[in-house]
Structure 1
């Protein structure tokens, strides 16, 4: 584990008010906040979107199995806790390859080893993921839908690695009637997109993707049936709990996405 350079997972943890981060992560967040002051607000509304989307799929759509790509550091409530609040038998497989995330995942497994698994894998390696015992077990009943989560992670994949193809490939391997939850950092300001992308590439030693335009994010939803919104939206507008729910006020860059059913 290299703590001499920032980790995207630990930076996100810091922005959410967590404690599992280092000085290098906090300094990187300070610089990111200088470039885009709404970054902390964006992280908070995205986490709230994740919780609402999982609760919605569990309560309204009867989903009991979730596949969380690029899950990041555990932040309560976690996906399995939200889903199990609806049905204690709900199952979750978390996927990540960050060493810090995996250490915390092992602790989480100790709390709930029968319905929760943490898989050490790059989310681009769909062969490894779908051949793993954890995911094969999750997919054991082909009649039961799965909620596949790509929440604030697709911007970590560069265009050359075809994140759109990745989402399609995952969708093709899920049972009919499954669901996708997608959010991605987006802006229609080219200068902002480039400045943030360049900064994140620099601090991660070119192991990041890019901020995308609204039209580029819309491509993830092509051929899918969007739920609770006629089109992808800034995520704080997707089925807000109430008028008091966290809202993104700035439009400088946004978490943009939605929830969709696979036909």
Structure 2
């Protein structure tokens, strides 16, 4: 599909503007990636000046994604994933973790950054038995995701699907109706589907997080940390699996691929994390 065709279908521009910071590229910078630009690095450094441990926090959030996928494939029997807010491909992407356990697993990635679009199509081929696909779309319009023919060509909506919302819902203000966005996605999924959420919080250091919010807003990026109770509310209508909504580093650490590590401070990464199952 050409860039002009993609824009005609999605309504999103595929023009890459590197003069403006983008959240996917800032995250890539924190993960020591190479697909970021001066504006992204400037915002990343500004946030790091308020939260010096932001890089390790980003890595902790990324590590949770791997544990969540291993739980969903290995224990919950899920073999279909809708990963929204994909970010620039790095190591241990959703399809790599899932297809390592189940080569037939299928994954659809969603992101609104055209740089992610270009890299995902080139770097996320998946296994021969399974399938991966990418949709250039914005979660603020969930119906555009659900109506995209790529989704139904890749995933079977009559079978359970895991919706991955890892570090994405903080870009929604309360008046953006984040609950309605999640409900729209879950309503389209069958019983037995899951939703995975991690969310930055000010619960551990309100003053520092307030400065992060201000830095992001100055760069034109909405950033809305939520409390534990507010994050739990995003799982409305689902059954939250054990251990519940907890600090991201404490969510089932036994599922990490590496050898067990020295116990970490639960507040070392300022994210809440959890998984909910649709009854």
Q: TM-score, normalised by structure 1?
A: 0.91
Q: Partner residue of 1:3?
A: 18
Q: 1:220 aligns with which of 215, 218, 234?
A: 234
RMSD: 2.1
175-184 vs 155-164, greater mean Cα deviation: 155-164
2:143, 2:184 within 8 Å by CA — same for their partners in 1? Answer: no
Q: Give 1:225 shift.
A: 1.4
Change (3 A) 1:46 1:186: same
SS at match of 1:187: coil
2:64, 2:249 within 8 Å by CA — same for their partners in 1? Answer: yes
2:84, 2:110 within 8 Å by CA — same for their partners in 1? Answer: yes
Distance in 2 separating the partners of 1:85 and 1:253 = 27
Distance in 2 separating the partners of 1:54 and 1:221 = 18
1:68, 1:149 within 8 Å by CA — same for their partners in 2? Answer: yes
2:78, 2:162 within 8 Å by CA — same for their partners in 1? Answer: yes
Q: Partner residue of 1:187?
A: 202
Q: Partner residue of 1:117?
A: 133
What per-residue deviation string (whole Å, max 9, x for no partner) do you get for residues 169-212 of structure 1?
A: 21111111101110011122543343221211111x2x423112
Q: Partner residue of 1:236?
A: 249
Whether 2:51 is the aligned partner of 1:36: answer: yes
Q: Give 1:63 shift.
A: 0.6
The gaps in structure 1 that reach 5 residues or longer are none
Q: Partner residue of 2:189?
A: 174
Q: Give 1:243 shift.
A: 3.5
Q: Partner residue of 1:60?
A: 75
1:38, 1:250 within 8 Å by CA — same for their partners in 2? Answer: no
1:157, 1:209 within 8 Å by CA — same for their partners in 2? Answer: yes
Change (3 A) 1:110 1:49: closer
> Which consecutive aligned stretches of 4+ in structure 1 deviate over 4 angstroms post-superposition?
109-114
Distance in 1 separating the partners of 2:141 and 2:132 = 20
2:60, 2:269 within 8 Å by CA — same for their partners in 1? Answer: no
SS at match of 1:75: coil
Distance in 1 separating the partners of 2:79 and 2:119 = 23
Distance in 1 separating the partners of 2:276 and 2:263 = 22
What per-residue deviation string (whole Å, max 9, x for no partner) do you get for residues 133-191 of structure 1?
A: 1212344351x210100000100112211112211221111111101110011122543
Distance in 1 separating the partners of 2:32 and 2:227 = 28
Whether 2:159 is the aligned partner of 1:156: answer: no
Q: Give 1:27 shift.
A: 2.4
28-37 vs 92-101, greater mean Cα deviation: 28-37
Q: Partner residue of 2:5?
A: none
1:234, 1:256 within 8 Å by CA — same for their partners in 2? Answer: yes
153-162 vs 65-74, greater mean Cα deviation: 153-162
193-202 vs 61-70, greater mean Cα deviation: 193-202
Q: Give 1:223 shift.
A: 3.2
Distance in 2 separating the partners of 1:107 and 1:214 = 37
Distance in 1 separating the partners of 2:157 and 2:187 = 16
